[in-house]
Amino acid sequence: MSEPDHWLVRPKTIRMLWIVFSIILALLVLSDLVVHHHAHFGIDGTFGFYAWYGFLSCVVLVVGSKALGAILKRRDTYYDD
């Protein structure tokens, strides 16, 4: 017996969500053209700073974590036996 997919997980909905998400992202970056950021350091007032910096930070954090994980990861029964 298979129940019909919840509307939220249908491929059509997910595609729709991606489109809406992309539009929001684009609008947010474009908003930098009109919103004046009070820059404290210079770099934080440049166009799209928070967008690329947020994205890049996450990439670095994930890749860095994976690298550390390669050394420090153990199966989750490590301390049990």
Partner 1 sequence: MTISAILPPGVILILAGFLLPLLQGHARTAALLIAPVITLAVIWQVPDGVVMSLGFMGYTLTPVEGDTLSRLFATIFAIMAFGGGLFALNQDRVTELAAAFVYAGAAIGVTFAGDLITLFVFWEIMALASTLVVWSAGAKAFGAGMRYVSIHLLGGVLLMIGIIGEVAATGSVEFTAIQPDTAARWFILAGFLINAGAPPLSAWLPDAYPEASWSGMVFLSAFTTKTAVYVLLRGFPGADILVFVGLYMIFYGIVYAILENDMRRILAYSIVNQVGFMVCGIGIGTTMALNGAAAHAFTHIIYKALLLMSAGSVLYMTGKRKCTDLGGLFRTMPLTAICGIIGALSISSFPLTSGFISKSMISQAAADEHLFVVWMALAAASAGVFLHAGIKFPWFVFFQKDSGMRPEEPPWNMKAAMVLFSFLCIGLGVLPYPLYAMLPYPVDYVPYTVSHVTSMLQLLLFSGLAFFLMLGMLKRTLTITLDFDWFYRGLGKVLAKEFDMRSARAWGAMVERLYDAVVRFVGTLYRHHGPQGVLARSWPTGSMAFWTTLLLCACVIVYYF
Contact residues for partner 1, defined by CB under 8 A = 6, 8-9, 21, 24-25, 28-29, 31-32, 35-38, 40-41, 44, 48-55, 57-66, 68-69, 72-76, 78-79
Report, in Å, the least distance between residue 16 CB and partner 1.
15
How far apart are alpha carbons 19 and 72 in whole angstroms? Answer: 38
Report, in Å, the least distance between residue 49 CB and partner 1.
8
Report, in Å, the least distance between residue 69 CB and partner 1.
5
Contact assessment for residue 80 and residue 74, using Cβ atoms and an 8 Å cutoff? no
Residue owning tokens 């539009």: 23
Crossing angle (nearest 10°) for helices 49-72 and 11-30: 120
